[in-house]
Chains A and B, each alone.
Chain A
Amino acid sequence: MIEGIEIQHIILVSSLMFFIGVYGFMTRKNLITMLMAIELMLNAVNINFVAFNKYLHPENMQGHFYSLFIIAIAAAEAAVAIAIIINLYRNLHSIDVEDVNNMKH
C-alpha cells in the first residue's frame, strides 16, 4: 500500500497516458512518433497491472511478471518496427504514414 495515494489517481494517470497514446497514434503522421505513442499505451497498461496487483492481491506477483513480460515484448516490437521503418524509408524515401498506402483495394 502506497501511503496517501488512492488507486483512482493511479488509474487516472494510466488512462491519461493511454488516451494520449491513442490520440498520438491517430494524429501523428511520422511513423517514429506513432511508435512512441504505442510505447505510451503499453506503459499505461503496465502501470495498471502493477497498481491492481498491489491494491487487490498484494500477496501475489503475477501483475509484476506481466509488466516485465510486456516490457520485453515492447523492446522486441520496437526493434522489428524500426527495422520495418528503415526498410520503408529505403524504398519510399519517406516515413510519412500516409505514403505507405500500397495495401489497398
Chain B
Amino acid sequence: MDFTYTIYIVLIPLFAFLVNGLLGHKIKDSISGVFATLALGVSAILSYFTAYNYFFKVGKVDGVYEKITAFNTTWINFTDKLHIDLGVLIDPISVMMLVVITTVSLLVHIYSLGYMKGDEGFTRFYAYLSLFTFSMLGLVVATNIFQMYMFWELVGLSSYLLIGYYYTKPSAVAASKKAFIVTRFADLGFLVGILFLSFTTGTFDFITLNENASILAQAAPLGFMGLSVLTWAVILIFIGGAGKSAMFPLHIWLPDAMEGPTPVSALIHAATMVVAGVYLVARLFPIFSAVDPIALEIVAIVGGVSSLFAAIIACTQIDIKRVLAFSTMSQIGYMMLALGVSGMGEEGTGFMASMFHLFTHAMFKALLFLGAGSIIHAVHSNNLTDMGNLRKYMPITHITFLIACLAIAGVPPFSGFFSKDEILVAAMNHNPIYFWIEWAVAGLTAFYMFRLYFGIFWANDKKHDHAHESPFSMTLPLVILAIAATFAGFVPFNELVTSDGGFLDIHIHWNIALPSIAIGLVGILVAYIFYKKESSLPSKMEKSVGSLYTYAYNKFYIDEVYMFVTKKIIFNKISTPIAWFDRNVIDASMDSIANITNYFSDKIKTIQSGQLQQYITAFIAAVLILVFIFNYLIS
C-alpha cells in the first residue's frame, strides 16, 4: 500500500503556519483560528486514515508490523555514505504518535477558539500552534536521527515561543528563556551522542541502525570507563531526551513553562513535546537494549527518581497548573522507567507499557490541563486557595475533571489503570525495588490528584460571582477527551505497538493489580478525608512531617542549587576571572599598542610644521647623507 500521502499530514500544519504567520495581520481573528483548526482537522483525518490502513488494512506480515519508509528525499548530500535525508517513516510507534499528536492538537485548536478569544495575538497564537504541530509531526515521522534532531530543535523553538507568548510579562519571558536554555543544554548531549553514534555506525538511518543493532553494538570500539563508544552515544542521546522530557535533574524548566497559555501547556507540556524524550528512547530501543545494560539501567533509575521526586513535590504545590506539571513529570518518569526495565521481543512488556502509558497519559493529562484552563478561565486565578465549590458552577468541567483524575489514579476501568498496571508488571519482573517505588508513586498520584479535585470542586461553600461554565468550543474537547480517557485503556496495545512489531501475550496480573488499585483508593480516601471539607488535618499533617514539607514545597531547592552553581560558581568563580583576563590582559595589550603609537605620533607630529623651507632643508640634508653613504660607505 502506498503511504506517500502521509507527507501531507506533516505539511498541512506547516502551510497553516505560513498562512497565519505571514498574512496574519490581514486576516480576521476568527477566520485565522477556524482556518488553522480546519487544516489540523484534515491532518487528523489523514492520521486516522493512516492508522487504519497501517494497522488493519496492511496488517502484519509474518506476524510483525513492518517499518515502511513512506517518503524519502536526500536533503543534503555530502558523499555517497554521508547524506542527510528528510522523509516519513511509518511504523507502529510513529503511527501511534501521529494519532496522539493530531488528536490532542486538534482538540487544543478547537479549545483555544474559546479560550483565547479576544486575545491580542490571536493569529500569532494559532501560527505558533501550527508551527509546533508541524515540528512535532516531523519529529515523530523522522527517518533518520539527524532529521529528528532538526525537528527536535524546532519543537524546542516553538515551545519557547509559546511559553513566552505573553511577552510583556517578565515572568513569562524568564520562563521561556529558562526552558530554552535548559533543553538546549541537554540537546548538546544529544548532538554529541548523534556524532558518536553515526561515527561508529556510519549511518543516520533508523531502520539500518535498529535492524543491525546487535552487530553494531558488538563491533563498536571500546570507549571510556570500560563501556563501548556506542553505549556512551546512547547515554548522551538519553541526556537530550531527559532534558526534553523534564527528567530529574533537568526538570527545572517544566514548572516555569506553565507561564504559557493553558492550551499550550496541555498540548506541549503534557501530551506531546515532553514525551519526545520517551519517544526518542523508544525509537532507538533496539540499540539501547543491544548495548551495555547500564544504559537502560540509567534510563530506569532516572525515570524512577523523577517520578517519585515529582510526585512528592506535587502534593505540596498550590498553583494548580504546577501540580499538573509535576504530575506530568512523574508520569513521564513512569514511561522512562518502563522503557528502562524492558527488553526486546517476549520481554518487551515494558516497552509496550511505556507506549501504552504515553497514549493514555496524553489523553487524560491533556484533559486535566484543558479542565484546569476552563477553571482558570472562570476564576481568573491559578491558586487552589481561590477555588472551591466550583462543581455547582461548572458541571461539565467537574465531571470530565473527575474522569481524568480517576484515570490518572489508576482506578479501573479508566485508561490509566491498564497502562500503569503493565508498567508495574514490567517493573516487578525486572527488579522489585522499582515496583515498590512506582507502587508508592501511584498512591501519591491518587492523593495529589484528588487533593486538587476536592480543593477545586468541593472544599468549601465559597461564592463565585463570575464563575460560569465555559463556552461550547471549550467543553466539547473536554467531553471528547473524557471519552478517550475512559476507553483508551481498551486499545489492544499488545497487538499493535510492541518492541519488535509482533504480538505480546499479556493479561492482568491480579497480584500486582490489586495492591496498585488498593494504594490508589487509599490515596483517594486520604484526599477525601483531608480536603473534602475544610479541616485542620492538612496543616496538622504538614506540621508532623515538618521539614520534608518545607523541602517539597520549595521543590527541594533544585532551582536554588542551579542558581548557586550558575551564579556563585560559574559566574563568580569562573566567568568573572576570565572576563577580567579578557579585559585586563588581552584587550589591554591591544589597547597599549594603540596608545604607544598614539603617544609617539603625538610627539613627532610637530615636525610637520607647514614651513616649506624646513622640508627642503631636511630633504637636501637627507640627499647629501645618502650620497655620502652610497659613495663612501657602501661602494
Q: Does A100 contact B (CB under 8 A)?
A: yes
Is A101 an interface residue when CB atoms closer than 8 A count as contact?
yes
| Inter-subunit contact B616/A103 (CB<8 Å) | no
CB–CB A101/B606 < 8 A: no
Decide if A98 is an interface residue (CB 8 Å cutoff): yes
- Kindly identify, within residues 111 to 129 of chain B, every residue whose CB is under 8 Å from any CB belonging to chain A: none
Question: Quick one: which of A52-105 are within 8 Å of B by CB?
Answer: 97-98, 100-105
CB neighbours (8 Å) of B620 from chain A are 22, 26
**Given that A22-B620, A26-B620 are known contacts, is A103 also in contact with B613, CB under 8 Å in the complex?**
no
Q: A25's contact among B605, B606, B608, B616, by CB below 8 Å, is which? A: B616
Total interface residues on B, CB under 8 Å, equals 11
Interface string of B31-62 (1 = CB under 8 A from A): 00000000000000000000000000000000
Task: Tell me whether B610 is interfacial, beta carbon within 8 Å.
Answer: yes
Contact assessment for A26 and B610 in the assembled complex, using a CB-CB cutoff below 8 Å? no
Looking at B605, B606, B612, B616, the one whose CB has the most chain A CB atoms below 10 A away is: B612
Please state if B616 and A98 are interface contacts (CB–CB under 8 Å).
Answer: no
B431 on interface, CB distance cutoff 8 Å: no
Find B610's partner among A22, A27, A102 (CB 8 Å cutoff): A102
B606's partner among A22, A100, A103, A105 (CB-CB below 8 A) is: A105
- Does B611 sit within 8 A of A, measured CB to CB? yes
Task: Report how far A101 CA is from B608 CA in the complex, Å.
Answer: 10
CA–CA, A25 and B613, complex, Å:
8
Give every chain A residue within 8 A of B605 (Cβ-Cβ): 105
Interface string of B594-617 (1 = CB under 8 A from A): 000000000001101111110011
A22 to B610, CA, bound (A): 19
Query: Is the CB–CB distance between A105 and B613 below 8 Å?
Result: no
CB <8 Å contact, B611 and A26: no
User: What chain A residues lie within 8 Å of B617 (beta carbons)?
Assistant: 26
Q: Which residues of B contact A97 (CB under 8 A)?
A: 611-613
Nearest B residue (CB) for A103:
B610
CA gap between A58 and B397 in the complex, in Å: 122
A70–B611 CA distance with the chains assembled, in angstroms: 27
In the assembled complex, the Cα of A105 lies from the Cα of B601 at a distance in Å of 11
Q: Tell me how far the C-beta of B624 lies from the nearest C-beta in chain A, rounded to whole angstroms.
A: 10
List residues of chain B with CB within 8 A of the CB of A102.
610
Contact with B along A7-32 (1 / 0, CB 8 A): 00000000000000010011100000
Interface size, chain A (Cβ < 8 Å): 12
Residue ID in chain B nearest A100 by CB atoms = B612
List of B residues within 8 angstroms of A26 by Cβ: 613, 616-617, 620
Q: Which residues of B contact A103 (CB under 8 A)?
A: 610
Q: Once the chains are docked, how many angstroms separate the CA of A22 from the CA of B613?
A: 11
How far is A100 from B614 in the complex, measured between Cα atoms in Å?
Answer: 13
Residues in A with CB closer than 8 Å to B606 are 105
A34 to chain B minimum Cβ distance, whole angstroms, is 8
Q: Which residues of the partner chain A approach B609 to less than 8 Å between Cβ atoms? A: 101, 104-105
Contact residues in B for A101 (Cβ distance below 8 Å) = 609-611
Q: A105 — which chain B residues lie within 8 A by C-beta?
A: 605-606, 608-610
Distance (whole angstroms) from the CB of B631 to the closest CB of chain A: 16
- In the complex, the chain B residue whose C-beta lies closest to that of A31 is B612
> By the criterion CB–CB under 8 Å, are A98 and B608 in contact?
no
> A104's contact among B610, B613, B616, by CB below 8 Å, is which?
B610
Bound complex: CA of A25 vs CA of B620, how far in Å? 11
Tell me the smallest distance from the CB of A10 to a CB of chain B, in Å: 21
Query: Which of the listed residues B608, B609, B610 has the most CB atoms from chain A within 10 Å of its own CB?
Result: B610
State how many angstroms separate the Cβ of A30 from the closest Cβ of chain B: 12
Q: How far is the CA of A22 from the CA of B606 in the complex (A)?
A: 25
Bound CA span A101–B611, Å? 6
| Complex-state Cα separation, A33 to B104, whole angstroms | 100
Residue of B nearest to A104 (CB): B610
Closest B residue to A27 by beta carbon equals B613
CA distance A26 to B617 in the complex (A): 7
Measured CB to CB, the closest approach of chain A to B627, in angstroms, equals 13
Closest CB in chain A relative to B102 CB, distance in Å: 76
CA distance A102 to B612 in the complex (A): 11
> How far apart are A77's CB and chain B's nearest CB, in angstroms?
16
In the docked arrangement, what's the CA distance between A81 and B617, Å?
Answer: 20
- Looking across the interface, which residue of chain B has its beta carbon closest to that of A98? B611
Minimal beta-carbon separation of B369 from chain A (angstroms): 75
Q: Answer whether A104 and B612 are a contact pair too, CB < 8 Å, given A22-B620, A26-B617, A26-B620.
A: no
State A102–B610 Cα separation when bound (angstroms).
6
Q: What chain B residues lie within 8 Å of A27 (beta carbons)?
A: 613
Closest Cβ of chain A: how far from B345's Cβ, in Å? 89
Taking CB as reference atom, which chain A residue is nearest B608? A105
User: Measured between alpha carbons, how far is A15 from B620 in the docked complex, in Å?
Assistant: 15
A104 smallest CB distance to B (angstroms) = 3
| Distance of A101 from chain B, by nearest CB (Å) | 3
Complex CA–CA separation, A11 to B613 (angstroms): 27
Closest to B605 in A: A105
How far is B609's CA from A89's CA once the two chains are assembled, in angstroms?
21
Contacts of B608 in A (CB 8 A): 104-105
Question: Whole-angstrom distance from the CB of A105 to the nearest CB of chain B?
Answer: 4
Assembled-state Cα–Cα distance A22/B609 (Å): 20
Closest chain A CB from B419 CB (angstroms): 86
Q: CA of A26 to CA of B620 in the docked complex: distance in angstroms? A: 10
Smallest CB-CB separation from B613: which chain A residue? A26
CA distance A97 to B609 in the complex (A): 13
Q: Which residues of B contact A (CB under 8 A)?
A: 605-606, 608-613, 616-617, 620
- Give 10 A-B pairs besides A25-B613, A101-B610, A105-B605 with Cβ atoms closer than 8 angstroms: A25-B616, A26-B617, A97-B611, A98-B611, A98-B613, A101-B609, A102-B610, A104-B609, A105-B608, A105-B609
- 7 closest A-B pairs by beta carbon, nearest first, are A104-B610, A101-B610, A105-B605, A105-B608, A103-B610, A104-B608, A97-B612
14 CB-based A-B contacts, threshold 8 Å = A25-B613, A26-B613, A97-B613, A98-B611, A98-B613, A100-B612, A101-B609, A101-B611, A102-B610, A104-B608, A104-B609, A104-B610, A105-B606, A105-B609
